[in-house]
Amino acid sequence: MRVGVSSRETVETIDYDPGLKDTGDLEGGTNTITATSEATGVGNADYTHSLTLKKPADTRLLVKRIAARLAVTIDSMTANHVYCRVYVDQQDAGHRLFDDDWEAAGERLDADTVHADSKATIFNLLKDGASHTFYFFFWVDTGNAVISCVQLCEGIGTSSTDSIGAPDTLVMTLEHTGLTCVTGYLRRVGSGDATMRLYGVLDDHASRAMLLKRSGGDYSSWENPPPVVLHGSAAFRLNTSVATDIACYGGVLIRMVH
């Protein structure tokens, strides 16, 4: 949207609200796993669910990372190993999001981040704004396992516990030069804390300087941030304190004057 404020300036708004996508618990009761090999064909998956991540409408806002978290509750097991694989759209190695081997009962958690240099096929699918189907396959080495919860969450974010400037914390970039004001909130799935920061090139001679910072749990937000003048780009970064958590941008509202 463009709104004229003078003969020389315009104000633009980017309102991007991808939210957090959640399959919910796909197992309404309990399921006893007795298969001793992975089933063949997506039609034979133990569970399936489709999710859609919203794509930014403005091409200046670029998604760089997408995070996913898998939660499975194993109530009991006579097996030595419970195996789980999760695929996106197709059952092959290039579409495999999770590949887990659990040796004990309890709440089993896994989190991963996909991007252009890691599981690029999945990243390119999930960021295209279309619906994609997740296929869940379970099997054991011997005996059986009883499971009572299977749940997957995904969002525009990361599972990185690295320091906030590390490569795996870069979630989105904004290409813009001019006066800019950004508000936003994060979604965190898990037990730890998450941090979101916005870095930007402030002038021709600056590298990157911190503009905004916020730490906390689910729905933490930036409130009443000061406007700043960007020179070319800004980096939206996230990290989390627990490796099996994911931190995601639930929404950002960007106002730009130029």
Predicted pLDDT at 130? 98
Residue 135: name the closest of 245, 243, 33, 40 by CA: 40
CA angle 214, 17, 183 (to 5 degrees): 35
Indicate the range of 37-41, 156-160, 187-191, 208-212 predicted with least confidence.
208-212
Q: What is the mean pLDDT of residues 182-207?
A: 80
Q: Give the pLDDT score at 203.
A: 52
Domains annotated on the chain, with CATH: 2-17+158-257 (2.60.120), 21-155 (2.60.120)
Report the candidate in 213, 187, 185 with the shortest Cα–Cα distance to residue 199: 213
pTM of the full structure: 0.92
Q: What is the pLDDT of residue 23?
A: 98
Q: What pLDDT sits at residue 230?
A: 83
pLDDT at 92 over 90: yes
pLDDT digits (tens, 9 = 90+) for 114-163: 999 999 999 999 999 999 999 999 999 999 999 999 999 999 999 999 99
CB contact at 8 A, 18 and 249? yes
